């Protein structure tokens, strides 16, 4: 039986801040989202005919990718019995659920008619649609993750004989959940990868890129949230947990390197190939209106900071790796933003020397997130913050009692 040892007084003010700001943002976001249904999305959201996917789809994709990553981290410890990483599994599973719920919140408030989804995805599903499969797999995955989590909690409260049975059912749920989650994530990649209208997306690359990013996000998130929990609540990290975090820190570096590798070839390929749409997107990123996003957020914060931190500290400096993980998540979010928004801003008829009408003859279609979109994004982020501290309270540091 492991128990948490209090070595510092809990930072109650920060914890309260997470509850208040997180909960407040969540309520504000939901209110804004519901208001936008009532008044009409076209009035409150900044998306347009030409750029129909904006900040909220970015939020959805980002949090869904983080969720998949956390699900993978949890599975490595739980299912594949990698003892080193096992101390991270319980929290990773919990946060994976919270992250996917935040993603669902964002897309639920983004879809114009989410209620029709419940009816027509069942009565008239389109088997060739990635959106359909992604929705189905993520819905199944979240149910299975919750089942796994609940059974795991129950197992801790039962006698050994019953607990073993529950744990094995939880493992099955976990394994199937992991597979559906990865299928969901690859379908999310192919939602973009299948769109031949946007050559920057088109191809099988996006699903590879998304799953690689999911791994980076998963390890970054678990190191950050574990460290944040222990320093906020003033608990002592025991030896196995420290070892787990140090190993996870090395994985952050590994996957940052992988993402750097993928992103570099993507950009080089697009710049050199000069294919319509690919070239224009890459140019807008490296030397255009999105250069700051690209170089500072995507490359420096998203990749170089975690990569260099992992090399310098060899992943061993837990607090440094936690901040590096946060940096990777922020950079990763901007990476999703650029990935989703910029290819849409390349005009459809750009090859045709169009001079009018103005809205189709621009160099880039404009898109700026509206205040409402930003508030809904904050709401989803608030759900993660609130869910995180609530989880630490409810499940007492996600410590498995054996």
Q: Which residues bind another protein (CB under 8 A)?
A: 40-42, 47-50, 52-53, 111-114, 116-117, 120-121, 124-126, 128-132, 135, 191, 194-198, 276, 344, 348-349, 351-361
Please name which of 162, 336, 313 lies closest in space to residue 223, comparing C-alpha atoms.
Answer: 313
Q: Which is nearer to another protein, 94 or 201 (CB)?
A: 201
Minimum separation from the CB atom of position 341 to another protein (A):
11
Minimum separation from the CB atom of position 104 to another protein (A):
13
Strand partners, 6: 235
Minimum separation from the CB atom of position 192 to another protein (A):
9
Q: Which is nearer to another protein, 179 or 361 (CB)?
A: 361
Q: Which is nearer to another protein, 80 or 276 (CB)?
A: 276
| Cα dihedral sign, 337-340-345-351 | positive
Other beta carbons less than 10 A from residue 357's beta carbon: 8
Please name which of 152, 45, 145 lies closest in space to residue 101, comparing C-alpha atoms.
Answer: 145
Q: Which is nearer to another protein, 48 or 319 (CB)?
A: 48
Three-class HEC string of 182-202: HHHHHHHHHHHHCCCCCCCCC
Minimum separation from the CB atom of position 210 to another protein (A):
16
Minimum separation from the CB atom of position 37 to another protein (A):
10
Q: Which is nearer to another protein, 112 or 236 (CB)?
A: 112
Cα–Cα distances in angstroms (integers) from residue 292 to residues 167, 260, 288, in the given order: 48, 17, 9
Q: Which is nearer to another protein, 111 or 179 (CB)?
A: 111
Q: Assess contact for 65 and 191: CB atoms under 8 A.
A: no
Other beta carbons less than 10 A from residue 317's beta carbon: 16
Q: Which is nearer to another protein, 179 or 360 (CB)?
A: 360
Tokens coding 282: 């890459």
Minimum separation from the CB atom of position 358 to another protein (A):
5
Q: Is 6 helix (H, G, I), strand (E, B) or coil?
A: strand
Minimum separation from the CB atom of position 16 to another protein (A):
38
Q: Assess contact for 85 and 77: CB atoms under 8 A.
A: yes
Q: Which is nearer to another protein, 142 or 167 (CB)?
A: 142
Minimum separation from the CB atom of position 342 to another protein (A):
13
Please name which of 398, 267, 283, 251 lies closest in space to residue 350, comparing C-alpha atoms.
Answer: 283
Backbone φ and ψ for 235, nearest 5 degrees, come out as: -85, 160
> DSSP label at 84?
G
Task: In whole angstroms, give the CA distance from residue 211 to residue 185.
Answer: 7
Task: In whole angstroms, give the CA distance from residue 28 to residue 105.
Answer: 13
């Amino acid at each position: 039986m492991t128990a948490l040892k209090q070595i510092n007084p809990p930072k109650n003010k920060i914890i309260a801040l997470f509850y208040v700001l997180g909960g407040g943002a969540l309520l504000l976001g939901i209110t804004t989202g519901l208001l936008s249904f009532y008044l009409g999305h076209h009035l409150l959201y900044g998306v347009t005919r030409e750029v129909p996917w904006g900040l909220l789809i970015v939020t959805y994709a980002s949090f869904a990718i983080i969720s998949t990553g956390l699900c993978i981290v949890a599975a490595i410890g739980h299912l594949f019995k990698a003892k080193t990483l096992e101390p991270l599994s319980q929290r990773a599973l919990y946060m994976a659920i919270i992250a996917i719920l935040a993603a669902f919140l964002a897309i639920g408030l983004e879809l114009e008619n989410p209620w029709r989804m419940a009816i027509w995805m069942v009565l008239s599903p389109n088997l060739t649609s990635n959106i359909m499969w992604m929705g189905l797999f993520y819905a199944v995955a979240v149910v299975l993750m919750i089942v796994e989590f609940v059974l795991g909690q129950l197992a801790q409260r039962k006698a050994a004989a019953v607990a073993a049975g529950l744990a094995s059912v939880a493992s099955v749920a976990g394994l199937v959940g992991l597979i559906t989650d990865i299928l969901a994530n690859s379908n999310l990649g192919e939602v973009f990868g299948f769109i031949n209208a946007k050559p920057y997306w088109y191809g099988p690359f996006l699903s590879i890129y998304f799953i690689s990013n999911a791994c980076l996000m998963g390890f970054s998130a678990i190191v950050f949230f574990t460290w944040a929990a222990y320093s906020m609540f003033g608990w002592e990290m025991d030896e196995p947990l420290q070892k787990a975090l140090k190993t996870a820190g090395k994985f952050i570096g590994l996957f940052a390197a992988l993402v750097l590798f993928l992103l570099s070839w993507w950009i080089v390929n697009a710049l050199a190939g000069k294919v319509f749409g690919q070239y224009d997107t890459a140019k807008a990123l490296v030397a255009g209106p999105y250069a700051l996003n690209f170089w500072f957020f995507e490359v420096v914060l998203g990749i170089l900071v975690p990569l260099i931190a992992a090399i310098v500290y060899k992943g061993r400096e837990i607090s440094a790796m936690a901040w590096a993980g946060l940096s990777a998540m922020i950079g990763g979010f901007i990476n999703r933003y650029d990935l989703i928004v910029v290819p849409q801003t390349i005009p459809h008829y750009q090859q045709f020397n169009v001079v009018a009408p103005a809205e189709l003859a621009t160099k880039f279609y404009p898109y700026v997130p509206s205040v409402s979109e930003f508030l809904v994004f904050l709401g989803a982020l608030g759900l993660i913050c609130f869910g995180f501290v609530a989880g630490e309270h409810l499940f007492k540091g996600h410590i498995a009692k054996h």
